[in-house]
């Protein structure tokens, strides 16, 4: 097989993924490994052909002494190719929880924050068919259902950013051959050989399954079959949401009777999608946790899961974010709200109990207190200046207005 024939499908996949993005600028996440470096080179070629500007972003997890030097190499490769490279650092691990899982969550959060600051709507990721097969085995070990076993999707939306994985049908070996042909060296992370990590165990299990004819392509096809079935179920969830779920100031509301009449499987999926939409997590909570939340809501009991409060009020079921003090970023409140029209000396924060105390007749608004507490608000010292529900305040068409940093709930269901 000629090299052009071997790499043609990967080039076409990258080009087609780029064509689905309206933005004039996109980003690619590069660790220095073969997969992400190859994607960077392929994407640079596609971007040049389509007149799209490309940015490169790397995350230094600071878990190995050599990580900084490795990203210096990435920066040098980018400079040689005329690409802008940004480096983000993870400094907040408290040594609790699963290291790889915590590093992954931090990586996505850092990149999403960076993309929002830079007004970049899409980030490309270099996951391959090998990653897809390993992920399938890892989720199988966790007794995942069709959603988990359907594998990584080529396009998802999380944290206000579109994430694209155009190489899910490409073998890692082919990408390494492509880099060899380009004369580009990649970095081999020693963690990829450490059997203490779950993904390495999955990789070795995959090698052991090879004599049975169970390889990456087979598992990827199984995942694709499950994804087709999962798509039907997600369609049912979306149909219900379009008819019965309202989006109110960043919270979700549903008629309690309609929710109670739902098939349990659809109800669990709806809750999982709602929790994920509100808290911005990459994945919904475990099924057992969602079952507990559903049972509580059916019994009109308040229940908190993954930073999201579920409650029943006047015949409606609500999901809303837990109140929390979040860092400001100019006109942005965490990953949830963007506010226009801040004036010098004004402060952006959650409404909170202090703000609620300054709202006259807030009970007449018909919204749960828990929803109001998390609203964005503008303050001048200790005086509440503005919040979306402030009587006599400015409306959404005025210079001062708030908008959620996320897609509508029903649109987001295409990615759950």
Domain count, the chain: 3
Please tell me the predicted confidence (pLDDT) of residue 148: 85
170, 37: one domain = yes
Is 29's pLDDT higher than 50? yes
**Cβ(334)–Cβ(326) below 8 Å:** yes
- Same structural domain for residues 391 and 283? no
Q: Are residues 314 and 341 in the same domain?
A: no
272-163-19-77 Cα dihedral, nearest 10 degrees? -170
CA quadruple 64, 69, 74, 75: dihedral sign: positive
Does 268 share its domain with 384?
Answer: no
Q: How many CB atoms sit inside 10 A of residue 265's CB?
A: 14
**Residue 413: pLDDT band with limits 50, 70, 90:** confident
Bridge-partner residues for 312, per DSSP?
317
Q: Within a domain: residue 239? A: no
347-350 and 337-340 beta bridge pairing = unpaired
Of the three residues 220, 238, 267, the one that is the final residue of a domain is 220
Q: Is the dihedral of CA 191, 106, 220, 13 positive or negative?
A: negative
Looking at the structure, do residues 317 and 333 belong to the same domain, yes or no? no
Strands of 347-350's sheet in order across: 347-350, 376-380, 383-386
47 within 8 A of 26, measured Cβ to Cβ? yes
Burial-class residue 66 by CB neighbours within 10 Å (0-12, 13-18, 19+): exposed
What is the chain's mean pLDDT, rounded?
A: 87
Report phi then psi at 300, rounded to 5. Answer: 60, 30
Long-range contacts (CB closer than 8 Å, 24 or more residues apart) made by 2-7? 3/177, 3/178, 3/181, 6/174, 6/177, 6/178, 7/174, 7/177, 7/178, 7/181
In this structure, the answer to whether residues 314 and 335 fall within a common structural domain is no
- Banded model confidence at residue 190, pLDDT cuts 50, 70, 90: confident
| Same structural domain, 254 and 338 | no
Confirm whether 203 is domain-assigned. Answer: yes
pLDDT digits (tens, 9 = 90+) for 280-301: 887 889 889 999 999 999 999 9
75, 41 Cβ separation under 8 angstroms:
no
pLDDT of 189 over the 90 cut: no
Of 321, 343, 376, which residue is a domain's last? 321
Mean pLDDT confidence for 69-88: 96
What's the whole-model pTM score?
0.72
Q: Using one digit for the tens of pLDDT, what is the confidence trace for 50-70?
A: 999 999 999 998 777 888 899
Confidence (pLDDT) at 152? 92
Structural domain contains residue 13: yes
Residue-wise pLDDT tens digits, 313-348? 999 999 999 987 444 445 556 556 677 777 888 888
Range of the domain at 262: 249-321
- Radius of gyration of the CA atoms of the chain, in A: 23
Mean pLDDT for the stretch of residues 400-407: 62
Which residues are paired to 383 by β-bridges? 380
Nearest CA to 30 among 68, 61, 75, 66?
75
Q: Does 118 fall in a domain?
A: yes
| Beta bridge mates, 380 | 383
Residue 333, pLDDT score: 60
Selection from 4-18, 304-318, 332-346 with the highest mean pLDDT:
304-318
Q: How far apart are CA 97 and CA 74, in angstroms?
A: 29
Q: Are 384 and 355 a contacting pair, CB within 8 Å?
A: yes
- In this predicted structure, what is the pLDDT of residue 377? 85
Contact predicate 274/319, CB 8 Å: yes
In a shared domain, residues 115 and 150: yes
Give the pLDDT confidence score for residue 328 in this predicted structure: 47
CA atoms within 13 A on the CB side of 16: 11
Q: Greater confidence, 405 or 195?
A: 195
Tell whether 413 is covered by a domain. no
- Which range, of 111-115, 123-127, 362-366, 388-392, averages the lowest pLDDT? 388-392
Q: Between residues 32 and 6, which one has the greater pLDDT?
A: 32
CA distances from 31 to 35, 58, 59, 117, 129 (A): 9, 6, 7, 21, 18
Predicted confidence (pLDDT) at residue 87 exceeds the cutoff of 90: yes
Residue 16 lies in a domain: yes
Q: Judge whether 300 and 274 are in contact, CB under 8 Å.
A: no
Closest CA to 408 of 238, 217, 288: 238
CA–CA dist 148, 54 (Å, integer)? 31
- Residue 275 above 70 pLDDT? yes
**How is the beta sheet containing 303-305 ordered, strand by strand?**
245-248, 251-255, 316-321, 308-313, 303-305
Determine how many CB atoms are found less than 10 A away from the CB of residue 326.
Answer: 18
Q: Is the pLDDT of residue 407 over 80?
A: no
Q: Confirm whether 236 is domain-assigned.
A: no
Proportion of the chain above pLDDT 90, given as a percent: 57
Q: Do 380 and 299 have their domain in common?
A: no
Neighbours of 150 (CB within 10 A): 22
76 and 216 in one domain?
yes
Residues 260 and 350 in one domain: no
Task: From residue 383, give the alpha-carbon distance in Å to each of 90, 403, 410.
Answer: 36, 22, 36
* Average pLDDT of the residues in 181-204: 86
Judge if 306 and 349 occupy the same domain: no
**Does some domain include residue 237?**
no
Predicted confidence (pLDDT) at residue 385 exceeds the cutoff of 80: yes
Spatial contact of 248 and 319, defined as CB atoms under 8 Å apart: no
Which of 183, 199, 220 represents a domain boundary (last residue)?
Answer: 220
What whole-number distance in Å separates Cα of residue 319 and Cα of residue 284?
Answer: 14
In angstroms, rounded to a whole number, what is the distance separating the alpha carbons of residues 386 and 390?
Answer: 6
């Amino acid at each position: 097989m000629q090299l052009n024939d071997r790499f043609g499908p990967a080039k076409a996949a990258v080009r087609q993924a780029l064509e689905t993005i309206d933005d004039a600028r996109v980003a690619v996440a590069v660790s220095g490994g073969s997969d992400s470096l190859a994607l960077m080179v392929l994407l640079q070629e596609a971007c040049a052909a389509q007149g799209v500007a490309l940015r490169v972003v790397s995350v230094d997890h600071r878990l190995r002494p050599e990580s900084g030097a490795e990203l210096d190499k990435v920066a040098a490769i980018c400079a040689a190719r005329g690409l802008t490279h940004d480096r983000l650092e993870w400094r907040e691990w408290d040594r609790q929880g699963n290291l790889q899982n915590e590093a992954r969550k931090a990586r996505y959060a850092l990149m999403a924050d960076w993309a929002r600051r830079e007004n970049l709507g899409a980030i490309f990721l270099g996951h391959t068919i090998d990653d897809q097969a390993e992920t399938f085995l890892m989720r199988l070990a966790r007794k995942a259902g069709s959603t988990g076993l359907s594998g990584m999707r080529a396009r998802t939306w999380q944290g206000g950013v579109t994430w694209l994985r155009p190489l899910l049908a490409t073998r890692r070996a082919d990408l390494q051959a492509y880099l060899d042909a380009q004369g580009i060296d990649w970095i081999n992370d020693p963690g990829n050989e450490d059997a203490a990590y779950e993904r390495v165990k999955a990789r070795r299990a995959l090698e052991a399954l090879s004599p049975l004819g169970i390889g990456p392509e087979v598992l990827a096809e199984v995942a694709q079959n499950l994804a087709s079935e999962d798509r039907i179920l997600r369609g049912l969830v979306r149909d219900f949401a379009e008819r019965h779920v309202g989006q109110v100031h960043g919270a979700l509301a549903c008629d309690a009777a309609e929710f109670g009449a739902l098939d349990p499987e659809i109800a669990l999926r709806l809750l999982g999608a709602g929790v994920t939409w509100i808290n911005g997590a990459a994945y919904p909570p475990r099924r057992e946790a969602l079952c507990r939340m559903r049972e509580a809501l059916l019994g009109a009991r308040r229940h908190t899961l993954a930073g999201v409060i579920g409650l029943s009020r006047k015949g409606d079921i609500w999901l809303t974010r837990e109140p929390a003090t979040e860092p400001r970023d100019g006109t942005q409140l965490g990953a949830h709200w963007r506010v226009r029209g801040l004036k010098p000396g004004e402060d952006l924060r959650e409404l909170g109990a202090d703000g609620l105390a300054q709202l006259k007749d807030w009970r007449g608004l018909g919204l749960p207190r828990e929803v109001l507490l998390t609203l964005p608000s503008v303050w001048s010292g200790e005086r509440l200046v503005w919040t979306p529900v402030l009587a006599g305040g400015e409306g959404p068409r005025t210079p001062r207005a708030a908008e959620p940093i996320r897609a509508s709930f029903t649109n987001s269901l295409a990615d759950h």
